[in-house]
C-alpha cells in the first residue's frame, strides 16, 4: 500500500527476518529507499542486506556476547553449570544469540551448558514449564541465561517456588517494567537496557539524512548496557 502511495521512504521493523525479504525487492523496484530498525531483514547479524539502505539496532551476536559477559561478571572464577532458555526455535535472534553466548563460553573451561531448550513463541508459560521440568530432574546447575526478559521472570518464579533462588543466578536482556521488582529483590541478577526510543529516533534521523543526500552507514548500532541492582535506580524501562 505504501509503495502504491509513492512515499519517499519506508521504515520497516520486521516481524520475521526471512519472510519479509520480499519487501526489499518491492521497495527497490519502486525506487523507494528501505530502512530497517530493531529487527533485521535477512540472515546477517548486523542487519546489513543488499537493497536495504541502513539497519538501526543491535547485532544479535553481540547481544549473545552480552549474555556471556553477564555470566562472566556473576560467576567470576567459579565453575558454571548453565541452563539456557532460548527463543523461538530457528529464528535469527535465537540462533545468533546462542552463537554469541557460545563465543564467550569457549573461553571458560570450567563452564558447561547442562541443558538448553528453545521455546516456541517466546512464551513465559513455555519457559516456566521448561524450568519447572528441569528442576524436577535434580540435575545440578547454578546459572540460568535467558534470551528474553519474560523467560527470566519465569525462571526466577520457578526457582523461588523450588526454594533455589539463592543458589542460582538468573540473567537476561531487555529490561521491562515487569522485571524491576525481580531485580530489586535479587531474584533476577542482571538484564540489559536497550532504548527503543533511541532506536526510533536514530531510524528517523538516518532516513532524513539519506533523503537529504547524505551518506549513511549500512549499520547504525545501538549499544545495550547491563542492568543490575547497582544501577537499576538510573534506568527507566520503556516497556
Domain ranges of the chain: 2-58+194-223, 61-193
Q: Kindly report the CA angle at 109 between 105 and 110, in degrees rounded to 5?
A: 95
CATH of domain 2-58+194-223: 3.40.50.2300
Helix, strand or coil, per DSSP, at residue 197: helix
Confidence of residue 16 (pLDDT cuts 50, 70, 90): confident
Domain 61-193, CATH homologous superfamily name and number: Response regulator (3.40.50.2300)
Check for a shared fold between 2-58+194-223 and 61-193.
yes
pLDDT of 115 higher than 80: yes
Q: List the single range of 14-23, 87-96, 210-219 with lowest mean pLDDT.
A: 14-23
pLDDT of 20 higher than 90: no
CB 35 within 8 Å of CB 202 = no
pLDDT of 2 higher than 90: no
> How many Å apart are CA 127 and CA 85, to the nearest integer?
7
Strand ranges inside 154-218, DSSP E: 169-171, 191-193
CB 170 within 8 Å of CB 152 = yes
The reported pTM is: 0.89
Residue 28 belongs to what H/E stretch?
helix 21-29
Residue 151 belongs to what H/E stretch?
helix 149-161
> How many Å apart are CA 93 and CA 141, to the nearest integer?
25
> How many Å apart are CA 210 and CA 39, to the nearest integer?
20
Amino acid at each position: 500500500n505504501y509503495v502504491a502511495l509513492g512515499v519517499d521512504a519506508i521504515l520497516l521493523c520486521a516481524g520475521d527476518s526471512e519472510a519479509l525479504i520480499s519487501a526489499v525487492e518491492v521497495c527497490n523496484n519502486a525506487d523507494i529507499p528501505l530502512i530497517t530498525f530493531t529487527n533485521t531483514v535477512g540472515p546477517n547479524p548486523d542487519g546489513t542486506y543488499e537493497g536495504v539502505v541502513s539497519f538501526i539496532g543491535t547485532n544479535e551476536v553481540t547481544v549473545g556476547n552480552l549474555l556471556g559477559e553477564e555470566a562472566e561478571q556473576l560467576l567470576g572464577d567459579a565453575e558454571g553449570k548453565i541452563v539456557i532458555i532460548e527463543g523461538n526455535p530457528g529464528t535469527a535472534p535465537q540462533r545468533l544469540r546462542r552463537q554469541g553466548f557460545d563465543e564467550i563460553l569457549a573461553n571458560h573451561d570450567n563452564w558447561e551448558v547442562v541443558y538448553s531448550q528453545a521455546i516456541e513463541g517466546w512464551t513465559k508459560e513455555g519457559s516456566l514449564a521448561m524450568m519447572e521440568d528441569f528442576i524436577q530432574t535434580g540435575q545440578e546447575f547454578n546459572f540460568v541465561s535467558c534470551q528474553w526478559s519474560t523467560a527470566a521472570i519465569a525462571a526466577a518464579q520457578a526457582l523461588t517456588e523450588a526454594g533455589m533462588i539463592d543458589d542460582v543466578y538468573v540473567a537476561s536482556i531487555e529490561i521491562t517494567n515487569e522485571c524491576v521488582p525481580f531485580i530489586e529483590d535479587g531474584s533476577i541478577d542482571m538484564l540489559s537496557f536497550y532504548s527503543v526510543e533511541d532506536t526510533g529516533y536514530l531510524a528517523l534521523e538516518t532516513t532524513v539524512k539519506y533523503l537529504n543526500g547524505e551518506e549513511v552507514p549500512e549499520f547504525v548500532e545501538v549499544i545495550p548496557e547491563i542492568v543490575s541492582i547497582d544501577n537499576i535506580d538510573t534506568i527507566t524501562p520503556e516497556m
